[in-house]
Amino acid sequence: MNGKPVGRLLGVVFRAPIRLYKHDLGWLLTSRVLCLTHTGRRSGRRYRTALEVVGSDKTTGEVFACAGFGPSSDWYRNILANPPIEIVVGRRRFEPAFRVLDEDEAAAVMAAFEYRNRWIRPVVHFGLSKLLGWRYDGSEAARRKLAAQLPLVGFRPKPPQAPR
């Protein structure tokens, strides 16, 4: 078998959240998936990328996402070159400020993510192991290694501009 049907099916599955957001149905995904609108660093084109929300801070409104393919992820490289344009998560829409989490904070966010998803922990560990290329066991050492390999990014609403 040449693998093309599986590839097409995965393509449809991975594009489904973007299609929902495109038709203002992103709220169906609750707050588990965000839609990041960003500008291509070379093309200047506007792109939308769906990212899993791995955590949030209710007090600041910040949401956290992981660059699952590492620092070479296009969306990650794009936001480092040009600021992100918009975040939509659930029914919330905002112009974001962003930051890359340091290793300690990234490890804490992942620990909380694993705790919230403890019923599917084996699936989470399996998926992370595939992304990382080594056996992820959920230990503190593994979380720190993950944080060094896969950047975690926080997106929070930009503060309102003062009138001129």
* Average pLDDT taken over every residue of the chain: 87
Give all strands (DSSP E) within 86-133, no chain letters: 86-89, 92-94, 96-100
pLDDT-derived band at 25 (thresholds 50, 70, 90) equals low
CB 150 within 8 A of CB 132: yes
pLDDT score at 164: 66
% pLDDT > 70, the chain: 84
Q: Which CATH number fits domain 8-157: 2.30.110.10, 2.40.50.100, 3.90.198.10, 3.40.50.740?
A: 2.30.110.10
Query: If residue 8 lies in a helix (H) or strand (E), which one and from where to where?
Result: helix 4-22
pLDDT in tens, 77-122: 999 999 999 999 988 999 999 999 999 999 999 999 999 988 988 8
Confidence grade of residue 1 (pLDDT, cut at 50, 70, 90): very low
Question: Residues of the chain with pLDDT > 90: what percent?
Answer: 59
pLDDT above 80: residue 17 = no
**Low-confidence winner among 1-5, 29-33, 74-78, 142-146 (lowest mean pLDDT):** 1-5
The model's confidence at residue 2, banded by pLDDT at 50, 70 and 90, is: very low
Whether 14 has a pLDDT exceeding 60, the answer reads: yes
How far apart are the C-alpha atoms of 25 and 106, rounded to whole Å? Answer: 30
- Per-residue burial over 39-56, b if 16 or more Cβ lie within 10 Å, else e, is beeeeeeeebbbbebbbb
